[in-house]
């Protein structure tokens, strides 16, 4: 069982790495994306390298150089498409979701939807997937911390799930009904 309720996000790289370890294979991102190539987005992403684990920083630095550098092309990057792969999976997985499953939690769902034998239970997720490459900065005059996305993401079917999220296979209101659910009968 994977409990993604109240997973408010972070970096989707953790979900991808978990799934790669679980399946023993590379699992694609299953998305259509484009990066904003401006001096501001480039600097924002470089300034946010600290949030990645030390072992991943060089890889993300290369990603930033390849995808955000405005030196050769300003504006939106070329569109990158990473299509769904149906992956065999002999392990039954139950994934719990709610309206507080947001952003990177939803990326985890996007990854898991590529596996066989996965059942989603709960309520729909938040629907915060349209923008990625979230970068934070502090406004000079007020000192207020703000953040913006520097990438646009869609699934290959181009459905916009913003504000709607992913729907579960079985709807369940938490927390009282969870105690009554017998997962062995699914």
Strand partners, 34: 152
Mean pLDDT of 119-125: 95
| pLDDT on residue 179 | 47
Q: Which of 46-55, 85-94, 147-156 has the lowest mean pLDDT?
A: 46-55
The widest CA-to-CA distance across the chain, in whole angstroms, is 58
The percent of residues above 70 in pLDDT, for the chain, comes to 92
Higher pLDDT, 150 or 28: 150
Taking the model in full, what pTM does it have? Answer: 0.79
Q: 35: domain range? A: 2-185
- Quick check: 181 pLDDT over 70? no
Domain count for the chain? 1
Task: For residue 169, give the CATH number of its domain.
Answer: 3.90.226
């Amino acid at each position: 069982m994977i409990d993604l309720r109240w997973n408010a996000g972070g970096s989707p790289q953790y979900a991808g790495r978990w799934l790669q370890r679980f399946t023993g294979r590379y699992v694609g991102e299953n998305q259509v994306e484009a990066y904003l190539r401006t001096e501001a987005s480039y600097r924002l992403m470089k300034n946010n390298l600290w949030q990645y684990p030390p072992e991943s920083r060089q890889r993300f630095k290369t990603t930033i150089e390849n995808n955000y550098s405005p030196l050769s092309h300003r504006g939106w990057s070329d569109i990158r498409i990473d299509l769904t792969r149906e992956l065999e999976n002999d392990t039954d997985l139950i994934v719990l979701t709610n309206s507080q499953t947001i952003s990177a939690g939803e990326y985890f769902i996007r990854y898991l939807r590529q596996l066989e034998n996965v059942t989603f239970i709960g309520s729909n997720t938040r629907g915060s997937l349209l923008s990625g490459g979230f970068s934070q900065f502090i406004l000079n005059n007020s000192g207020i911390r703000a953040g913006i996305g520097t990438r646009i993401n869609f699934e290959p079917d181009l459905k916009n799930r913003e504000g709607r999220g992913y729907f579960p296979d079985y709807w369940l209101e938490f927390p009282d009904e969870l105690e009554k659910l017998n997962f062995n009968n699914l």
